Amino acid sequence: MLRFICDRMLGKLARWLRIAGYDTLYIGDLPVEKEYEDDMLASNYEDRILLTKDKELYRKAKAAKKDVLLIKSNSIGEQLKEVESIGVIFRPVMDRCSVCNEFLRKPSDEEKFEVFRKEGINNDISKEYELWYCEKCKKLYWKGSHWDNMIKFLSRHSIKF
């Protein structure tokens, strides 16, 4: 499966790729000093495809024969179309945390109720929806109305899923 690393200008795209199940790092989440980011990104970090809006960084990575895609659009819908052109399939799944990229798993009852209590979420959610949990972020996910809105967004932008 394709794996990505996104530059600072593509945080929203990184989240969408994670939602689609792709292992996607976002440079803003990594413990890298800002002055060294471009070198790290152009180095083909962990054999990932670099997604960037920075033309100079794109040229640098290309010259080093690294896998890189220059994202031209500012619109997330158009950005999704651009990565679709290199084989990305948007199959929205609950595999990865959209915030930190960790794998999700089924929560224990204690974890569910701790998050419900802390976030003020109604317990009935667990009766209506299947839940997933990020151990690192301590976040719960479920396919609610936000999920339906994402599917509509993909359809509106003619993105295959």
Per-residue pLDDT band at 159 (split at 50, 70, 90): confident
Q: pLDDT value at position 35?
A: 67
Q: Are residues 76 and 113 in the same domain?
A: no
**Residue 133 structural domain:** 109-156
Q: Which of 84, 118, 139 is the last residue of a domain?
A: 84
Q: Are residues 15 and 72 in the same domain?
A: yes
In terms of Cβ atoms closer than 10 Å to its own Cβ (0-12, 13-18, 19+), residue 99 is: middle
Q: Does residue 132 lie within any of the structural domains?
A: yes
pLDDT at residue 135 tops 70: yes
For the stretch 32-78, pLDDT in tens is 776 667 777 767 678 899 999 999 999 988 998 899 999 999 999 99
Q: Does residue 103 lie within any of the structural domains?
A: no
pTM of the model: 0.86
Our measurement of the distance from residue 95's CA atom to the centroid of its chain's CA atoms, rounded to an integer in Å, reads: 11
Q: Does residue 149 lie within any of the structural domains?
A: yes
Mean pLDDT score, 124-145: 89
C-beta separation of 79 from 56 below 8 A:
no
More confident residue, 31 or 25: 25
Mean pLDDT score, 80-99: 92
Q: Are residues 117 and 58 in the same domain?
A: no
Q: Are residues 7 and 80 in the same domain?
A: yes
Q: Does residue 93 lie within any of the structural domains?
A: no
Q: Are residues 14 and 77 in the same domain?
A: yes
Q: What is the tally of structural domains in the chain?
A: 2
Stretch among 130-134, 150-154, 156-160 having the lowest mean pLDDT: 156-160
Three-state secondary structure readout of 72-136: CCCCHHHHHHHHHCCCCCCCCCCCECCCCCCECECCCHHHHHHHHHHHCCCCCHHHHCCCEEECC
Mean pLDDT score, 17-22: 95
Q: Position of tokens 């569910």? A: 112
Q: Are residues 80 and 114 in the same domain?
A: no
